Amino acid sequence: MTATATAVTTEKVSPQLQTSEIALKKVLVAIDFSEQTPRIMEAALAIARSFRSELILVHGATPQIYGTGAEPSPIETLEVALDVAKAMMTALVTDCTELKAIKHREIITYCPPVDLVEQIVKDEKVNLVIAGSHGASGVERLALGSVAQSILQRVPCPTLIVGPHSSAVQHPFRSILLATDLERTGLRAAQYASGLAERFYGKLMLLHVVEPKAMHDGHRPEFSEEEMLRSLRRLVPPDLSIYTSGEVYIEYGKANETITHVANSVCPSLIVMGVCEHSILADHAPWSTLAHVIREAHCPVLVVRRTLA
151 touches 29 (CB < 8 A): no
Q: Which of 283, 280, 279, 292 is nearest to 253 (CA)?
A: 292
d(CA 143, CA 258): 18
Per-residue pLDDT of the chain (309 residues; tens, 9 = 90+): 445 555 444 344 344 445 567 899 999 999 999 989 999 999 999 999 999 999 999 999 876 655 555 555 577 777 888 999 999 999 999 999 999 999 999 999 999 899 999 999 999 999 999 999 876 544 333 344 567 878 988 999 999 999 999 987 788 999 999 999 887 666 889 999 999 998 998 999 999 999 876 555 455 555 688 888 888 888 877 776 656 767 889 999 999 999 999 999 999 999 999 987 655 544 455 567 888 999 999 999 999 987 654
d(CA 83, CA 241): 52
The residues that bridge with 129 in the sheet, in sequence order, are 28, 159
235 touches 208 (CB < 8 A): no
- CA distances to 45, 254, 300 from 169, rounded to whole Å, are 10, 28, 9
DSSP secondary structure letters along 149-186: HHHHHH--S-EEEE-TTPPP-SSTTSEEEEE--SSSSH
Residues in contact with 15: Cβ distance below 8 Å, sequence separation at least 6, in sequence order: 234
Characterise 11 by phi-psi region: left (phi > 0), alpha (psi -120 to 50), beta (else).
beta
Which burial class, exposed, middle or buried, applies to 4 when counting CB atoms under 10 A from its CB (0-12, 13-18, 19+)?
Answer: middle
**Structural domains in the chain, sorted by start:** 3-21+168-305 (3.40.50.620), 26-126 (3.40.50.620)
Determine phi and psi for 8, rounding to 5 degrees: -70, 125
Amino acid identity of 148?
A: A
Helix (H, G, I), strand (E, B) or coil at 288: helix
d(CA 259, CA 265): 10
d(CA 173, CA 43): 11
